[in-house]
Structure 1
Amino acid sequence: MNSSSEYRSYGWWVEHDPNSDRTTLIVGGRIGALRMPAEFAARVHQVLAIHLQAGPVLVDGADWVLLTQPGGRVELPEDLDEVVGVPPGARLALPPLDDPSWISPPRADRPAPSRQVVISAARRARAHAELAMTA
């Protein structure tokens, strides 16, 4: 099974270009995504893991992309300026599942968390960071 077939088995909308052997995820219908700077995203991912809610996370340049269930609020809370929603219809390049670009690769037994769960984890990560700075 190639990567695009495996991604499809998760219910994701993906396209595979046989010429470039590149697979892209189409954000929106089956999966959502939130982009954050890597340092902050690592703290968010840690909060999610502690609460057994961690889902797929992909490195994309200096950012991490945390994949979520689709839907939820379109606008993001103003207090989380480092969190950016990836708009529906956007395309994300997906590496093979064994690529180190996956901080946490997708797994059939671990669905992506809801967007609201990730936003709540981001607030908690921010609160912990602020407490650490005042201690």
Structure 2
Amino acid sequence: MRITITSVFVDDQAKALSFYTDKLGFVTKHDVPVGGEDRWLTVVSAEDPGGTELLLEPDKHPAAQAYKKALVADGIPAVQFTVDDVKAEFERLSALGVRFTVEPMEAGPVWVAVLDDTCGNLVQIATQP
């Protein structure tokens, strides 16, 4: 058994695609219309294009919206990505205008930072030794 796709609920797929590709550096894997304005829209790491896909899933269901709001209110990231150096990534993303809710900090054996994806989610980046 393998994880091939996981998802994050977003309030605007076009805005999410721009953020996750232009700011975070992911690349589009699939962009398929599925009716109306919704798309089957996935991105992958540019470093691992055959790896796990992240589905940028519309948050139209009321439960998805409530879930996102509750996580953000409690400061809980919806997803985590591993980076080589949290401090360097913080500097790179900050220069691109990305807003962080938690600046780089040591958390036991890892360094973490938390950013706002502009689509209703917090995203944690982490460096693991």
The TM-score normalised by the length of structure 1 is 0.29
Structure whose residues are more often helix by fraction: 1
Structure having the higher strand fraction is 2
Q: TM-score, normalised by structure 2?
A: 0.29
By relative contact order (CA 8 Å, sep 6+), the higher-ranking structure is 1
